[in-house]
Amino acid sequence: MCRTLAAFPNTCLERAKEFKTRLGIFLHKSDLGSNTGSIGKFEWSSKHGKEKNFSEDVLGWRESFDLLLSSKNGVAAFHAFLKTEFSEENLEFWLACEEFKKIRSATKLASRAHRIFEEFICSEAPKEVNIDHETRELTRMNLQAATATCFDTAQGKTHTLMEKDSYPRFLKSPAYRDLAAQASAASAPPSSCSLAEPSHT
């Protein structure tokens, strides 16, 4: 968004306001369940807690898949897109694994591991992810002595699948391209935000 708002023309402020509105609508479409945790909130923040403006965040999503995943709003927007393709379970599983790794209690680790397995991994799971039979069986064996790394192989497979398949389609989607165009306009210098000045000859 424009840095010194009062100093910029109305056209620039209007574009920035429209951009924020469009992004809010886009993220609102993501009807997130309780299992996806904090990504349901529309909050502008960076991974390290430093201020990061709207346009920088949105434009950064196309630089790399991991940069997208490090943005709360990027995750929410990507989740909204995946819901349109009926493949949101891959991202939800990846996020569940990230939260799982933070558990320090061995008892909680084991019980949560089984819940994740039943929800995402086992055959006929309600949100079964697209992994091969070998990975599924390896994960099943890992649960016999659950550790923070027991889902690493399955999580890696879903990450690769999303990065090579869903992520490129997300970047090409009309919704993201519209957001990126708005972000570019909002972050442009004052001269490009305003209408062109008539030339004096």
Q: Which of 48-52, 73-77, 141-145, 148-152 is least confident?
A: 48-52
Quick: pLDDT tens for 79-127: 999 999 999 999 999 999 999 999 999 999 999 999 999 999 998 899 9
Across the chain, which distance is largest between two alpha carbons, in Å?
81
| Homologous superfamily assigned to 8-189 | Regulator of G-protein Signalling 4, domain 2 (1.10.167.10)
What residue spans define the domains of the chain? 8-189
> And the tokens for 167?
């992520």
* Residue at 150: amino acid letter: C
CA distance 116 to 110: 10
Confidence band for 184, pLDDT divided at 50, 70 and 90: confident
The pLDDT of residue 86: 94
Cβ neighbors of 162 (< 8 A, separation 6 or more) are 65, 90, 91, 94
> Is the confidence at residue 39, as pLDDT, over 70?
no
- Residue 18 CA to residue 21 CA, distance in Å, equals 5
Tens-place pLDDT, residues 10-32: 454 455 455 555 566 555 544 43
Q: Which residues contact 178 (CB under 8 A, 6 or more apart)?
A: 22
CB 72 within 8 A of CB 41: yes
Phi, psi of 112 (to 5 degrees): -70, -35
- Give pLDDT, residue 89: 97
Cβ-contact 150, 137 below 8 angstroms: no
What's the confidence (pLDDT) of residue 139? 96
**Cβ neighbours of residue 77 closer than 8 Å, sequence gap 6 or more:** 23, 26, 27, 30, 61, 175, 176, 179
C-alpha closest to that of 82 among 147, 20, 121, 127? 127
Task: Label residue 121 exposed, middle or buried (CB < 10 Å: 0-12, 13-18, 19+).
Answer: buried
